Amino acid sequence: GSTPNLNMNLYATKKTVAEGMLDVALFLANVTHMKTVIEQGAGYRYYIAVLTLISFSLALQIVAGILIIIIARRDVTERANQKRLDSLNNMVTAIVFLIFVTNIFISVFGMERTGLFARMHF
């Protein structure tokens, strides 16, 4: 038996939808984290820093989400779209990397001094 032909457009669309779902999950996690920080109030040591980082991450996620929607609506098998879609995909990859780095900083500044971390002096 021969292997069926790979539909590149279907593959690209599924990949883009999966990436979008992960972006939505991280977006919701950041909104929840932001709510928690706001509830702790301005007395929280890194209040402004964490709120700024979360806001930056959320803004990047919105931009990435819009780009993902644009990519998903185009047909990758059309030669006229391929160069633009490649550029957009590279932009999304760079934005996702920035989101990743931003969320590392959010995690570091968002640590509570309880349990194991209470004994460590940062």
In tens, the pLDDT along 72-101 reads 888 877 888 888 988 998 999 999 999 999
The tens digit of pLDDT for each residue in 8-45 reads 767 776 777 777 778 788 888 899 888 888 888 888 78
* Identity of the residue numbered 117: F
Q: What is the pTM of this model?
A: 0.74
Joined tokens for residue 93: 């990859």
pLDDT category of residue 108 using cuts at 50, 70 and 90:
confident
First-to-final CA distance of the chain: 62
Q: Which residue matches tokens 């806001």?
A: 55
Q: Give the rounded distance of the alpha carbon of 62 from its chain centre.
A: 9
